[in-house]
Amino acid sequence: EKSGQRYHRCRKCRFRFATSVSNANLDNAITDFEQAYRQYLEPSAVDDHNQDETIAWIERFVPLDQRATLLDVGTGSGKFLNHVHKVRPCRAKGVEPSEALYRQYGLEAVGVSNATLPAFAATAAGQFSVVTALDVIEHVADPLEFATALGRLVAPGGFVFLSTPDAGSLLPAVVGRFWHH
């Protein structure tokens, strides 16, 4: 339990998750986000390296060339999307449901829609050759519904890249309940 929220672990795959009626982040003002999360959103000396590693992971399966259409779901501050715009010729967009993050980081200027995933997926089905959801699924109320919506967005033969923090890794073991995830 953290901040009054109960967390569960899948007995089969050990995925840790919480079930909640709504995503509190959607209604947060920028000052309501945990300090550790706000720090994660800000520029960091390791950002370029981390973004390049993510791009390398994606490009093991599909090139991010001028033919590629990429959608970054849960864009946050736009770090990944901004980096893709700088280093790859693909057509990249994003979707961020938090109005606070959308406004704080000027995401409209980099092709991000301020919408929930179900609302966005209803108008953009099958439009993207690559869909990313990087460290997002742990924030959603219904992971299965979320994954299904990601699948609706990807074009036939396209790819969905999904990541989530590893609650079983060394960092959460060391920092315990202070781990921001």
Q: Which two tokens stand for residue 176?
A: 């315990």
- Contact indicator for 110, 78 with CB cutoff of 8 Å: yes
Is residue 54 within 8 Å of 80, Cβ to Cβ?
yes
Provide Rg for the chain, Cα atoms: 16
pLDDT at 46: 93
Q: Give pLDDT tens digits along the chain (181 positions).
A: 766 777 777 788 777 766 655 565 677 888 888 787 888 889 999 999 999 999 999 999 999 999 999 999 999 999 999 999 999 999 999 999 999 999 999 999 999 999 999 999 999 999 999 999 999 988 887 888 999 999 999 999 999 999 988 777 777 678 777 665 6
List of residues 6+ apart from 172 with CB closer than 8 A: 165, 166, 179, 181
